[in-house]
Amino acid sequence: MAEANVNNTELKNETPENDVKGTETVKETKTPRAFITETYEKAVDAVKTSTEKYRDIIKEKKSAYKEKYVQPVVDKGNDIRDKVKAEYDKVYDKALETGKKLIPESTIKTVEEKWDKGLRSIVEKVNLPTREDIDRLTKAMEALNSKIDMPNEKSLV
């Protein structure tokens, strides 16, 4: 019978094999550490392969679900939004026109006067010349220019 040799670093399992001469040979097996490492690597590879496979399947299913169920809801929501906006614009324009008809002319004039007064106060605070200031300066310049253009009687004599 065959003997089993047990070593601290390696476990060998001897199995008898008959060769042509009838002698027995020893067949070596992997160490427990090598066996566990190889099994672990095979398991990791199997997990990676199946993860990639199912990731692609999930991606396809997600895309099909989105196309079949989600996108129609989004499209319907966009259509409703566009219809509501168009209706809102119609109502807003109609209300604006009605409001213009209802406001008395005197109120519009009062608002315009207050607007002008507010703008004038801003111009004054910034110290910009008003239209009246510019007109007055223009007339003064024209008067000066006409005096310069007139020949002086004393200089002729």
Task: Name the β-bridge partners of 11.
Answer: 6
With residue 1 as reference, give the H or E element that holds it.
none
- d(CA 6, CA 3) in angstroms, rounded, equals 10
Q: What is the DSSP letter of 101?
A: H
What is the pTM for the complete model shown? 0.35
pLDDT in single tens digits along all 157 residues of the chain: 444 444 444 444 444 444 455 555 555 677 889 999 999 999 999 999 999 989 889 989 988 988 888 899 889 988 998 999 999 899 988 888 888 788 888 888 898 899 988 888 887 788 888 788 889 999 999 988 888 876 655 555 5
